[in-house]
Chains A and B, each alone.
Chain A
Amino acid sequence: MFDTLSVIGSGMHVHQTWLDAISDNVANINTVNPYDQPAFQARYVVAQALEDGGTGDGVAVSGITYGSAEGRLTYDPSNPSANEDGYVRMPDVDLSEQMTDMIMAQRGFQANASNLDRVKSTYEAAIQMGKS
């Protein structure tokens, strides 16, 4: 019963997972790895719509994909992790792209939350109709 609330909850869950992934990417934006190790790989959330032949059953996280392991080769000889040529691996994470993704995830979450308010008041209006 009240399946719409579960659908909205799944939407909020996916957007919160997206926010978690973005926060992890931004937290590790300066994580330097030595040349012979893979760089920090950005996380991307893969969402999948759940179908039930009718109006749909919401959305679910079907997996996490990782960005490039090559990273950006940066010349920084003063870094203790640098190899003999002076190169280290910085993560291939673009801060502006992560920030715009963060805004999209936040607005998506807020859209789901306001939808939840409206659906709840709709159900309550129907129940109120029977009270009098």
Chain B
Amino acid sequence: MGAITGIAAGALDQVSKAYAQWFGTSGTSSTSSSSAVNGSSFASLLSNGLTSLESSNAAAQTAAVGAATGDLTQVQDYVIAASKAQMATSLTTTLRNKALDAFTEIMRMSL
């Protein structure tokens, strides 16, 4: 049982490192963020990722308002901001689903 939770913790370690690298949440290199990896740090990384996702969505909203009121001088700014927000949302959703699947798989194990 200890070995299995160790394997699961290692897998979550990989996911959290990749997530931190993608979102740049720690602000430093990914090697420093790997020094303290356990279940709680993955939760903080997820919340930081959601914060940056919210900021990219806010940027897309601002560009949309500018396009609607006619203030937008560069047309491609809105398309690029909307694409970034959509892809960041899709990536966050996929990561959340994968982490949840792994968690339920472990919890389903009978002792």
Contacts and interface: CB of A to CB of B under 8 A. Distances in A.
Interface stretch (A5-13, A26-34, A81-89): A5-13
A13 B76 contact: yes
Interface in A82-132: 113, 116, 120, 123-124, 127, 130-131
B77 interface: yes
Interface in B16-58: 22-24, 52, 56
Contacts of B87: 2, 120, 123-124, 127
Contacts of A130: 94-95, 98
B90 A9 contact: no
B69 interface: no
A12 B76 contact: yes
Contacts of A68: none
Interface of chain A, main secondary structure: helix
Nearest to B22: A1
Contacts of A6: 80
Contacts of A13: 74, 76-77
Interface residues of B, number: 21
Interface residues of A, number: 17
A8 B94 contact: no
B14 interface: no
A6 B77 CA distance: 9
B103 to A, nearest CB: 16
Interface in B51-83: 52, 56, 74-77, 79-80, 83
Nearest to B94: A130
A23 interface: no
Contacts of A16: 74-76
A8 B91 contact: no
A5 B83 CA distance: 9
23 contacts: A1-B22, A1-B23, A1-B56, A1-B88, A2-B84, A2-B87, A2-B88, A5-B83, A8-B80, A9-B76, A9-B77, A13-B77, A16-B75, A113-B76, A120-B83, A120-B87, A127-B87, A127-B90, A127-B91, A130-B94, A130-B95, A130-B98, A131-B94
Interface of B: 22-24, 52, 56, 74-77, 79-80, 83-84, 87-88, 90-91, 94-95, 97-98
